[in-house]
Structure 1
């Protein structure tokens, strides 16, 4: 008799996986101690969350402007966090949001962060995160190396303390790997806890996923990419009670295709997307 290729014992051989409901409860419990902290950006724009500001911008036919920031040297990053905003403001321009370019090694648990690192931003504590984002009234988007890794809970707590209401990257859970780390169960478990913490916040916090960082990057048709996005939306919003925000654009340029995908992604969405990129890889 041929073995069932879809048998649970073959796909998930671990005998005792932690129940999702238990992990979510653990994450929700953390919300007693970790909530969205003070935000220079939210105070400046008079909103309770980035999602609320995005909706206001949409109502005013205004595009929210995003830029990436992050140097290995913390003080340089903090100085630039202010100087970029100040220079734009004096010139009559806007920068509404910074993508915090964390180093990939920040995905490791705290006790493993003494090993090799990359060239991205390195933050040592929640206090450093707060000091960084307080430097200017620009929304902090912790969009990489938070969700999807064994440090998901730690990095989410730190991002919340820094006033961030947009945290990711859920897409990285499915495809990214840290050197020397092969424990997928822990990575998923910590991510589920972090999602529970996010969903339990008293204000709306966007769960960001860059579709081009997840399974969608391997597909050759946009309908499959949309299907992957809908699965993520179902997990975050229907099963967990959070707010899903997708990002796309790295892999294709054709204007009509981009517009069609944008409309399809917006259909049925209850939250604004995180951002739209130009074609950076194809």
Structure 2
């Protein structure tokens, strides 16, 4: 196999597993899991224990994410949502706390990093309070396991009573500009997972959102099922953890959500409950009424799944404002009340008339093909000399291979040179189909698109892990005949500046979704000035917001970006004309 390994460290230099296990034993020797108000109220030691009770009783858990960046505002939001839902006859079981990207770095590595819009846990007291605000179980998924600060964060969360902790998938995709400590990160991730494994018997769950990692970049749903098994292999069989998968951000088809859940549940021999099924956030835009329809569409499938094949996953009512700004407490409550009605009325009616034989047949196909993908990847790694008993070697090698080559060399779809990645998907992911549909719908609106940018060189990249919008714009530019240099995700301004010099591009397109739009744009322009790079056009799109005035809410900064000379029109169908304005 002619696989190109993009190694960032020497995999064989990792410590042996006996050494790592001995270090983990010392870390957990005196560790006691804290008790939250929620777990105390329900008489459970962990959320995993509570989830299993729900699976038996038929109760469907509900989840909301809180995205404020200060402790006081976070606390106020949690109290409002809980009390208002309780007052109106509804409920919520768990809150996800959006921790800032800086939480994934030790303090001595944070200098020079842009601060996002997430929450920073500053001390042990704040960690302890996370489960004492209201009787709703806290979930910590982002910037925990899979980072350079995973061990410290995991220990702090467990002491606070947080017993579902992620995000194992982040190891493959989340990055910090200018920070390249991949060997340390791999060791830290192994240790954090192993720490969780020490409490598996009590119901502690390792959370992994498949859409956040390489799973979200696979085009074939069958391969994604196999990818889930790969994560389960090294988390459970090698590190004794209990892995609970999350998915949903990139799933728009409610039936596919049912089928996929059934497939990964069948490949979950220990029946570790899932964390949550996230909302289909790629369907959400600037039209709140349309977003309400998207909410009703995806979540019916999730309700049906938990009613018929309970897997412990919480359902997630996404507020209609999610794609535009941080949702308010009132909008979170409204989303839950919307879903309550669907849970009582719509889902049971649809469930009765579904063709379950067809659904099961689709599930069986994904399971068979997923197992084949798993075997192919494992055999391929073995052929590359990777120790299949060392989780760090497996993770490091897979990260070096990347999602594109994983599908090209190990995918289970029929080989076809004309197909993307050389294979026809067994069952295309919704994200793959939705991207093609949206991109094509925009292409037909652009008059004279074909070859209209021939000879033009353009740089594209993202400030974070979200690549959907960037990929759509890239496809439009390629159709226009442009030469596109794709820098990938989590790109630093320094990397963009280097690329401008190397490629001699005159236009840069940046997609951003992590609340740093203005700071990033300003830093990029200042870097151009310092390097004497003149007449370079910058276009930014995505979620153009940031907390500029310290009021704890990220607001739209399109106007501020325009005042810097950056195009912030945020319109994919106008992207060709926007590029042309910088070429004159």
TM-score tier, shorter chain, comes to over 0.9
Contact 1:246 1:274 in 2 (8 A): yes
Query: Which residue of 189, 192, 211 corresponds with 1:191?
Result: 189
Query: Which residue of 38, 41, 52 corresponds with 1:41?
Result: 38
Residues in 2 aligned to 1:277 and 1:19: alpha-carbon distance in whole angstroms: 36
Once the two structures are superposed, the pairs formed by residues 22-101 of structure 1 within 5 Å of their partners are 22-101=19-98
Residues in 2 aligned to 1:76 and 1:10: alpha-carbon distance in whole angstroms: 42
Q: Which moved more, 1:239-248 or 1:85-94?
A: 85-94
Structure 2: which 5+ residue stretches go unaligned? 283-430, 432-584
Once the two structures are superposed, the pairs formed by residues 136-215 of structure 1 within 5 Å of their partners are 136-201=134-199, 203-215=202-214
* Structure 1 pair 259–16 and aligned structure 2 pair: CA distance change class (3 A): same
Aligned to 2:537: none
Contact 1:246 1:273 in 2 (8 A): yes
- Look up the SS of the partner of 2:147 in the other structure: coil
Contact 2:49 2:202 in 1 (8 A): no
Residues in 2 aligned to 1:278 and 1:39: alpha-carbon distance in whole angstroms: 26
Once the two structures are superposed, the pairs formed by residues 207-226 of structure 1 within 5 Å of their partners are 207-226=206-225
Contact 2:85 2:92 in 1 (8 A): yes
* Structure 1 pair 243–51 and aligned structure 2 pair: CA distance change class (3 A): same
Task: State how many pairs are aligned.
Answer: 279
Contact 2:67 2:117 in 1 (8 A): no
Q: Greater CA radius of gyration, 1 or 2?
A: 2
Aligned to 2:119: 121
TM-score, normalised relative to structure 1: 0.92
The question of 1:18 aligning with 2:29 is answered no
- Look up the SS of the partner of 2:13 in the other structure: coil
Higher relative contact order (CA closer than 8 Å, sequence separation 6+): 1
Residues in 1 aligned to 2:254 and 2:6: alpha-carbon distance in whole angstroms: 45
The question of 1:279 aligning with 2:280 is answered yes
Structure 1: which 5+ residue stretches go unaligned? none
- Look up the SS of the partner of 2:126 in the other structure: helix
Residues in 1 aligned to 2:91 and 2:46: alpha-carbon distance in whole angstroms: 18
Contact 1:152 1:194 in 2 (8 A): yes
After superposition, what is the alpha-carbon deviation per residue over 1:110-169, rounded to whole angstroms, capped at 9, x for unaligned?
223454310111110222111132111111111110011110011101111110110000
TM-score, normalised relative to structure 2: 0.46
- Which structure has more helix as a fraction of its residues? 2
* Structure 1 pair 56–17 and aligned structure 2 pair: CA distance change class (3 A): same
* Structure 1 pair 182–104 and aligned structure 2 pair: CA distance change class (3 A): same
* Structure 1 pair 87–221 and aligned structure 2 pair: CA distance change class (3 A): same
